[in-house]
Amino acid sequence: MQATNLIDGRAIAAQIQAELAQRIAELKSRGIQPGLAFVRVGEDPASKVYVGRKEKVSAELGIYSETHVLPETTTESELLGLIAKLNADKRLHGILVQAPLPAHIRPAVVYSSVSPEKDVDGFHPLNLGKLMLGDPTGFEPCTPAGIRELLVRTGISTEGAHVVVLGRGNIVGKPLAAMLAQKARGANATVTICHSATRDIKAHCLRADILVAAIGVPLFVKADMVKPGAVVIDVGVNRVPDQTSPSGSKLVGDVDFAAVQPIAGKITPNPGGVGPMTIAMLMRNTVRAAESQAVQ
């Protein structure tokens, strides 16, 4: 496999975690241990894996974490009651409510109930508003922040670049577009958002200097949709049938990696690209929350 054009998310995440270790040590020298609460409702298999990975990195960095697992039948008011307790807990500087939530619970209500100062996932309306305004005092959503960090640390300039984002979701597509359009370092891009109602998505993709696939469709981006030399970022996590796997399925991205890699100037592997960066940004937000709350 040609590896020279791979963007190594694991290596860049490790750099960030090394930087965070120094900040955590400084906090601990002042008697402060960053604390992070995970809340998971139900037994979604992917959610269990994601929270497990976040717990592991927290432990490696010396961040105190606790996980609250609630049954699928938990009511919205019960979940809000737990979040109120976590908001008031001085040991905890960050709170993450793992998506997806059961259908009877409204995500917007839940995310709005997390204290903005502890909203290390960056989904509270106050933090999203700050993102839109270019106010750096808010917390940014972790996956978009991780994508921008990948670009910056790989030396990929977004200045004046045409970025095409496939997907208009609240977790990746919309916040990433807002970030990259800001008048700021690691931004200043011209951004196009494509979605299910976009006409001729292929034509838009072929104009992209940087193509971000966050559309939730397995292997959606094919070789004939990528401009030669373009940077391709694959955010997708899709489970598809695979008779050769013991589980009967496998995970693939939104990009047909084998076909696209020879054409791309730079490309993220999947796994090993965006995923580790999402966790690194969560840890960075948590450390920043601890630093901020320590001076209040």
243 part of a folded domain: yes
Burial of 283 (0-12, 13-18, 19+ CB in 10 A): buried
Please state, in angstroms and rounded to a whole number, the distance separating the CA atoms of residues 25 and 102: 38
82 part of a folded domain: yes
With a cut of 90, say whether residue 127 has pLDDT above it: yes
Please, what is the end-to-end C-alpha distance for the chain in angstroms?
51
Query: How confident is the model over 45-94, as pLDDT tens digits?
Result: 889 999 999 999 999 999 999 999 999 999 999 999 999 999 999 999 99
Share of the chain above pLDDT 90, in %: 92
Q: What residues make up the domain containing 82?
A: 31-125
Residues 159 and 107 in one domain: no
| pLDDT value for 239 | 87
> Apex CA 153: angle with CA 150 and CA 159, to 5°?
85
Residues 269 and 159 in one domain: yes
Positions annotated as catalytic residues are 54, 98, 121
Residues 146 and 59 in one domain: no
Residues 66 and 166 in one domain: no
Q: How many domains does the chain have?
A: 2
Q: Identify whether the C-beta of residue 210 lies closer than 8 Å to the C-beta of residue 233.
A: yes
| pLDDT value for 1 | 42
One-letter amino acid at 140 equals: E
Q: What's the pTM? A: 0.95
Please state, in angstroms and rounded to a whole number, the distance separating the CA atoms of residues 274 and 276: 6
Residues 98 and 152 in one domain: no
Residues 120 and 165 in one domain: no
Query: How confident is the model over 155-208, as pLDDT tens digits?
Result: 999 999 999 999 999 999 999 999 999 999 899 999 999 999 999 999 999 999
With a cut of 90, say whether residue 251 has pLDDT above it: no
Query: How confident is the model over 252-295, as pLDDT tens digits?
Result: 999 999 999 999 999 999 999 999 999 999 999 999 999 999 88
With a cut of 80, say whether residue 3 has pLDDT above it: no
Residues 116 and 66 in one domain: yes
Mean of the per-residue pLDDT values of the chain: 96
